[in-house]
Amino acid sequence: MTPADLSLTVAHAVRRAVGDGDLAVRELPGRLTVERPRPGGLGDWATNAALQLARPSGLPPREVAEVLRRRLLDVPGIARVDITGPGFLNLTLRPDARAGAGRLLVERVRREGMRYGYGDALAGLPEDRVHFRVAEGADPRVRALTAAVAALLRSQGAPARVSDGARRDAHPGVRLHARPPHYDLAALPPDARQWAMLRPAPHDRVLDAAPLLRQTESGNGLFTVQYAHARSAALLRNAADLGFSAAHEDDRRDARPGAAYDTHPGASELLAALGDHPAVLLAAARHHAPDRLARHLEVLADAFLGFQHTVLPLGDEKPSAAHRSRLALAEAAGTVLAGGLSLLGVSAPTRL
């Protein structure tokens, strides 16, 4: 079950509750979001649907949550539903549903490629909110930030454009602000320069140069992300040398759907990071915050590097369905890393 599936499931539970007379709501919310649980939450996914429906129904949020909980427990694929905090519903999936969601996620990434996570949620923004102006003489960080924000907005369907601050037309445009660099960025290579400006939030100072020049995963998020992408490409090359390629196949030695993924350490963390990518892109675009995407790429890279050792056969082991499926997951991770780096204006090398 994917987040989109679960969102429809929650909406169906709400409609059932309204139809049964347990919730007196005339108009349903336009969107019922399902996302990863926040700190203190439980399970695989969470929704704030009960909080959205509390005021229209005239009931306390936790009472609304209990009404929805009873109906969600009847859904095949959901193992348990917990209510936390003021009324969050936390959903725990059955193992087969969780594994099936992993398979569908990998297939989606491989199908959509570097555009995975793109959407049209911001297509309706008015022009005065997606037209950016860069003043003549603006420092390089403002220029980099503006270009990245525009790229993120376009990824979510907004017709973003950037123009010279000296031009005059019907729309004054949005000007972004950032803390200026405290050293000469020209000393850095292009990728390191871009990462130094975009990885911190705009109100933070740019990253120091020295860690970005060290080719190590310790303290250098840029190297970690680019190295993870290069490792994904290397796994595909090595697998080709061994005579097999990426393809999702269930392991015939294990009858559970998706067993190739969920029986190996690191797979669940990697799948979770991949599943979070669309929401991260949307939030980064909506809040004009490319730093959110940069931090997410670091999380994704760390998860991939913890998983990569399970992909190729060891010793005399022959390539199996499990290896092909894990290679598909590794390929998906590399694709998402490349797409994210592209939006930030950073290269994704295949060899390091």
pLDDT at 204 exceeding the cut of 50: yes
Residue 169 — pLDDT band, cuts 50, 70, 90? Answer: low
Percent of the chain at pLDDT exceeding 70: 93
Domain total in the chain: 2
Task: Report pLDDT for 42.
Answer: 85
Q: Which of 344, 334, 333 is nearest to 289 (CA)?
A: 344
Last residue of a domain, one of 40, 75, 93: 93
Q: Give the closest residue to 14 by CA, choosing from 23, 4, 6, 5.
A: 23
Q: Please tell me the distance from the alpha carbon of residue 43 to that of residue 72, in angstroms, as a whole number.
A: 14
User: Rounded distance, CA 346 to CA 144, Å?
Assistant: 11
The verdict on residue 180 lying in a domain is no
Residue matched to tokens 């599936």: 5
186: in domain? no
Domain range for residue 36?
A: 3-93
Both 228 and 332 in a single domain?
Answer: yes
Q: Mean pLDDT, to the nearest integer, of 224-242? A: 97
**Is 85 found in the same domain as 220?**
no
Question: pLDDT tens digits, residue range 103-120?
Answer: 889 999 999 999 999 999
pTM value is 0.81
Last residue of a domain, one of 28, 58, 93: 93
| Residue 262 in domain | yes
pLDDT band at 263 (very low <50, low <70, confident <90, very high): low
Across the chain, what does the average pLDDT equal?
Answer: 89
Least confident of 35-49, 98-112, 194-208, 239-253: 239-253
In a domain, 244, yes or no: yes
**Tell me: the pLDDT tens digits for 119-161?**
999 999 998 899 999 988 899 999 999 999 999 999 999 999 9
